[in-house]
Amino acid sequence: MISRLNVGSDISKKWFDAHALLKGREAFTARYPNDPRGHRLFIDELRSFGARKVHVCMEYTGGCERALAVACREAGFVVSIVDGAKIAKFRGSFSSTGAASDRKSACLLARFCRERRPEEWFPAPDEFRKLRELVRHRESLVEARSQWKCRASNEVEDPLVHAQRRALIETCDAMVKEVEREIGEHVEAHGNLAEAVRLLRTIPGVAATSAVRILAEMGQVENYSSAKELALAAGLVPIVVGSGQKAPPGKLAVYGNKELRNSLYYPSLVGKRFGTGVGPFIARVESRSRFKMTAVVAGMRKLCHVVYGVLSTGQPFDPQKMTMIA
């Protein structure tokens, strides 16, 4: 019996390629349609090997991998979803510069799974997944409305163009209101979401919209072992890069959840403007730095710590504890 079966899966919208590494046997490679029928065939094929533990590793694609990942989890397999940057660096670690294909990528993921043993992926609860979908849809509608308002500000001669631009703006307005109503009802229908939003709104600068957006992007606070881990997830921890006698100051690399990072931006600006919450901290950093954005980003990281403290303890914001937060 095989003790551990390492499987790599390269996923696209219509199909996915699988590659399984079998000790002492020829590697298994196959392609399946990315639909429920293909998922069942894939799972049945892996079960036929009789392995005690099956570890399926796939790359984050922005959503195409979710259905397969959930199906594998329900089948009792260990699932890991890996960031594409890690796979690219792993490919470069053994000088693989040739052209990539779906099958080669699946093989690479299987090797990564066997050698690096990536951490297990756990799906977010249904209420958090739906909240994130609603919040991100609202952000898309708001962005579209802003674009059409900008276009409508330019004068046109044709009355039909002008009328349809106005109609699109009004349609976006109505859709935004409908989504906001659905978000409010969804939050109220789930006690854990309603309580988390209530706690977040006790933080100065965090209004209802920002509270819901932060919660939707960060998910359950239990997913993070510390406030620093939450800040890492948001991409707000500076990374110091130095070599020899050169030791440049820490800078923010491009990593983390961009939407979570963006959700912390305006609450930090509000705190800075009115001198509440993280505002005094931002002012202290600004007095010692030439760059204003450095102070704002530092305030966003500080806000991460405040958010984690409020949600992990279940206690509302206490200004007396601000100096105790690292």
175: phi then psi, degrees, rounded to nearest 5: -70, -40
- pLDDT value at residue 216: 96
168: phi then psi, degrees, rounded to nearest 5: -65, -40
Whole-number average pLDDT of the chain:
90
Dist CA 287 CA 281 (whole Å): 10
- 57, 120, 124 from 72: Cα distances, Å: 10, 12, 15
Q: Where are the domains of the chain?
A: 4-116, 221-326
Task: Kindly state the average pLDDT of the residues 258-274.
Answer: 94
DSSP-derived 3-state class of residue 218: helix
Dist CA 175 CA 283 (whole Å): 39
- pLDDT value at residue 246: 61
Task: Kindly state the average pLDDT of the residues 220-235.
Answer: 92
Which residues, listed in sequence order, are joined to residue 20 by a DSSP beta bridge? Answer: 7, 28
Digit-coded pLDDT (tens) for 53-107: 999 999 988 789 999 999 999 999 999 999 888 888 888 887 555 557 888 999 9
Digit-coded pLDDT (tens) for 23-64: 767 888 999 999 999 999 999 999 999 899 999 999 988 789
- pLDDT value at residue 326: 47
- pLDDT value at residue 251: 60
Nearest to 80 by CA among 115, 49, 51: 115
Task: Kindly state the average pLDDT of the residues 250-275.
Answer: 86
What's the pLDDT band for 220 if we cut at 50, 70, 90? very high
* CATH number assigned to the domain with residue range 4-116, chosen from the 4 options 3.40.50.12280, 3.40.50.300, 3.40.50.11720, 3.30.420.40: 3.30.420.40
